[in-house]
Structure 1
Amino acid sequence: MRAVEIAVASLALAAGALVAPAAGTAADGWEAAVPLTRSGADVWDLELSLVEGSGMATWVHWTDDRTRLLVARQRRDGSWSRPGVLPGTGQVVEAEVAADARGRVRLAWTVGRRVLTARLRTDGSTSRPVVLHRTPGGPLGTRPAYLRLAVNATGATVVAWETMDDDEAPPYAEPVAQVVARDAGGPWSPALTLSSEGVPGIRPEVVVARSGRMTAAWGERDGRAWSVRAASRPAGEDWGTGERLSAEGERAGVPHLAGLPSGRVAVAYAFRSEEAQGIAVRHGSSGPRWSSPARIRGARIASWVDVGLGRTDAVVAYTDRRDAAWAASVSRSGLVTRTRLLPEVSVYYGMQVVANPSGEAVAVWDSVMGDDHPIEAAVRRRDGTWGRVARLSAGGVDGFLGAPVIAPDGGALVLWNAGDETDPDSSRVWVRSFAPRAR
């Protein structure tokens, strides 16, 4: 689904120099893949989070014209529980999961026109769901889509989504970007539309800092093109006015947002203008104050893009004009260093990256290898160098990336589903862990 949020407080989740990835064994540090489901099924919207240092995976399971949300937990010995159905999540469409520093797990999901939330208890039950918002019906009815969730160490929470026309038939309802916020221990706010009045808004991304300051970035229609906007909300206050981040006269792709508990944030988006095209990256801090955009050359408006954030730089994973996999380091001063991870036509669908405060990162993507669509990954070390690409999924199957997470010590998990490309009911859910070498 989506670019990965900063879901746990201990995680973080211009032309420049070109460096090559460091040599190494392809699967160095990656443990054997673990199947979380025993048989094939129609699954989607795989999500992954860390709860007190252990993985938690959720996904939507379709069977007999019904959907349910399933969850599997990683035990302290590294093994995984069998998946269980979360009560109260029947007919779920999308779901997000995140946890605070005390391990209290927050769920957000959509059903029809409703956005709901609940706590996931340690015994597998859920608290009574709260309806955060209900989109309107009628000829211009909408439903929530592209759900996002972020939680900080104390439990301050922000949920965002894009509204989408509910029947895909005229008259069409324009999309808007909306958000609901909750300070630690406080009540939920009413839903607020982030995008300008009467202007389409799409794909909001959200993060929340240790202080409770929330930041959102979204795409907004600007004449015949799209722009990138951002706004913030200090703890206990209202959302500020949206600020344009993309340049005037520039056509921008959807934004990708990452943040640190300290309040530092970074946004990345593809762009095209009459003079150039590529990826723009802007650093932000509490205030908010945004840096001038740094430009990564070689990408195009349709490139896959994602961003992670460490203390010293933003880590951007992207594809170039030939769909080759690349990574770039963008310092706070705007210095760009690019690394080609794989040659041309290496990314088939989707690319994600997560980073921790120390700058270690994992980039993952759906690759293409003949008729195969394997899941592949590359790991960035603390010194900023990248290891050799590892193939995570088995051969002969169609893989679809779910999500990666990375821990403060550099350990990582990657979740995906894979099955026969011609049979949607054949997918099984898999997870694979990365253990960094002892320093």
Structure 2
Amino acid sequence: MKVAASATGGVVAIWARERDTSNATSSGGFGQIQARIQPAGSTTWGPITDLSRAGTHASDPQVGIAPDGTITTVWEWASDALAAQKVTQSRTRTTGATWGPVQTLSQRGKDVDDPVLVVATDGTATAAWKRSYGRAGVRVQARTRPAGATAWNSGVWLSGSRGEADEPRLTVAPNGVVTAVWKLSSPLRVVPNQNFYLQTRSTAFPG
């Protein structure tokens, strides 16, 4: 479960709930992303909302709130719990409105994992995740949605094309500069989980 609060006191909680246990697989059945909102100034939580599609497998939800109350969520999704290839999905809810449609942020046919999300003080949202890159390894990819927009910008690669990137993390400064860090295992390593490097990229120094 993840929780976020707005500057005015609104709160949103998001989690992955196991569903359809009668069809459970060895991976734990079907997971559905759900959310619940407590409006600013209220002590009562609103109804539970299903964010991901029923009968599929979603997990690892992340959430952030902009100062104007816009809620952004991301998670990883697959057609079922045993699917080898997952994608990153997102839904957004503006203040006083209903949840928008599900948006797929990553390319289908390439497995993703570890989605992360930050929302800047101006409302700009940035999501990142690690994604398989053919036989070359695993890379960190990111997309940004400008403040007030409904569409996400094109995805950008943060890590290089060699090695296996892991555990991406994002942080955003008060001035809106986003910094990403991740762990990279050397493509030349002989022993698994050895020869790790810490890499970083920032919107202040994008190169």
TM-score interval for Structure 1 and Structure 2 normalised by the shorter chain: 0.7 to 0.9
- Please, what TM-score do these two structures have when normalized by structure 2? 0.79
Tell me how far 1:130 sits from its aligned partner: 2.4
Which runs of no fewer than 5 residues in structure 2 stay unpaired? 20-30, 189-194
Hey, what does 1:297 align to over in structure 2?
A: none
Contact 1:218 1:255 in 2 (8 A): yes
Decide which of 196, 199, 202 is 2:113's aligned counterpart. 202
Hey, what does 2:71 align to over in structure 1?
A: 157
Hey, what does 1:238 align to over in structure 2?
A: 151
Q: Which amino acid aligns with 1:199?
A: K
1:267 pairs with 2:186: no
Q: Which amino acid aligns with 2:85?
A: E
Hey, what does 2:201 align to over in structure 1?
A: 282
- Please, what TM-score do these two structures have when normalized by structure 1? 0.39
Tell me how far 1:165 sits from its aligned partner: 6.9
CA distance in structure 2 between the aligned counterparts of 1:283 and 1:126, rounded to whole angstroms: 37
In structure 2, the CA distance between the partners of 1:184 and 1:125, relative to structure 1 (3 Å rule), is closer
Within 5 Å, give how 1:172-321 maps onto structure 2. Answer: 172-224=83-135, 225-234=137-146, 235-274=148-187, 277-284=196-203, 291-292=206-207
In structure 2, the CA distance between the partners of 1:167 and 1:271, relative to structure 1 (3 Å rule), is closer
CA distance in structure 1 between the aligned counterparts of 2:126 and 2:95, rounded to whole angstroms: 16
Tell me how far 1:210 sits from its aligned partner: 2.0
Tell me how far 1:129 sits from its aligned partner: 2.3
Hey, what does 2:38 align to over in structure 1?
A: 120
Which runs of no fewer than 5 residues in structure 1 stay unpaired? 1-94, 293-439
**C-alpha root-mean-square deviation of aligned residues, in Å?**
2.3
Contact 2:179 2:203 in 1 (8 A): yes
Secondary structure of the residue that 2:162 maps to in structure 1?
Answer: coil
Secondary structure of the residue that 1:174 maps to in structure 2?
Answer: coil
CA distance in structure 2 between the aligned counterparts of 1:203 and 1:189, rounded to whole angstroms: 23
Structure of higher RCO (CA pairs closer than 8 Å, 6+ residues apart)? 1
Tell me how far 1:181 sits from its aligned partner: 1.9
Contact 1:157 1:183 in 2 (8 A): yes
Q: Which amino acid aligns with 2:49?
A: V
Tell me how far 1:164 sits from its aligned partner: 5.3
Deviations 1:193-242 (A, max 9, x none): 22112211111111111222110111111013111001101122411111
Contact 1:162 1:175 in 2 (8 A): yes
Secondary structure of the residue that 1:133 maps to in structure 2?
Answer: coil
Between the two proteins, what is the percent identity of the paired residues?
Answer: 28
In structure 2, the CA distance between the partners of 1:278 and 1:200, relative to structure 1 (3 Å rule), is same
Secondary structure of the residue that 2:203 maps to in structure 1?
Answer: strand
Hey, what does 1:145 align to over in structure 2?
A: 59
Secondary structure of the residue that 1:196 maps to in structure 2?
Answer: coil
Contact 2:164 2:187 in 1 (8 A): no
Contact 2:16 2:60 in 1 (8 A): no
Deviations 1:392-431 (A, max 9, x none): xxxxxxxxxxxxxxxxxxxxxxxxxxxxxxxxxxxxxxxx
